[in-house]
């Protein structure tokens, strides 16, 4: 009897939602006319460095305009310049690290999640500019990334 039940279950398959196959799914056959929003995602170099550069300049200007806190350094001397450069470089590095961590957290919170591949494809076809290439998409626990292959836009499993 147990053998009969096992064979019947194997033939019927599972009743729960199936995990999508690990294959490529086409979102748009021709992605050349799609205008992706530049600010939708931080691709490549981010605004963090530009923001931190401005803070570094302000730091240096403030430091250079004040008497150094170390009594042996004369204002506007080579040592004063070195002191300000080192101090503001450290602040710049802290700023970049902080901004990169914020961007990393933002990208994790923007991950798209769908219960099945049909829901994912429907949403992505309708909202393509909001999910540019490189966006992470989770479908029933399987992680995909949006990519351009040829002239088409596709979901590729990671």
pLDDT, one tens digit per residue, over 41-71 is 433 445 567 788 889 999 999 999 999 988 8
Q: What b/e readout covers 70-81, taking b as 16+ CB neighbours within 10 angstroms?
A: eeebeeeeeebe
Nearest to 24 by CA among 113, 137, 114: 137
Report the alpha-carbon distance of residue 51 to residue 96 in Å, rounded: 9
Question: pLDDT per position in the chain (158 positions), as tens?
Answer: 655 555 555 555 555 555 555 677 777 777 666 666 544 443 344 556 778 888 999 999 999 999 998 889 999 999 999 999 999 999 999 998 888 887 777 665 567 888 888 888 888 888 877 777 878 888 888 888 888 877 778 888 87
The reported pTM is: 0.43
The 10 Å Cβ neighbour count of residue 83 is 17
């Amino acid at each position: 009897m147990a053998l009969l039940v096992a064979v019947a279950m194997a033939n019927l398959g599972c009743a729960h939602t199936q995990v999508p196959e690990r294959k490529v799914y086409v979102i748009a056959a021709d992605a050349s006319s799609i205008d992706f929003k530049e600010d939708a995602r931080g691709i490549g170099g981010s605004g963090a460095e530009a923001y931190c550069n401005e803070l570094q300049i302000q730091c240096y200007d403030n430091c250079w305009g004040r008497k150094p806190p170390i009594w042996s350094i004369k204002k506007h001397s080579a040592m004063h310049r070195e002191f300000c450069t080192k101090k503001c470089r450290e602040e710049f590095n802290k700023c970049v690290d902080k901004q990169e961590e914020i961007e990393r957290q933002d990208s994790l919170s923007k991950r798209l999640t769908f219960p099945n591949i049909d829901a994912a494809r429907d949403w992505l076809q309708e909202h393509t500019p909001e999910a540019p290439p490189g966006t992470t998409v989770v479908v029933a626990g399987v992680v995909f990334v949006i990519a351009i292959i040829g002239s088409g836009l596709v979901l590729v499993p990671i």
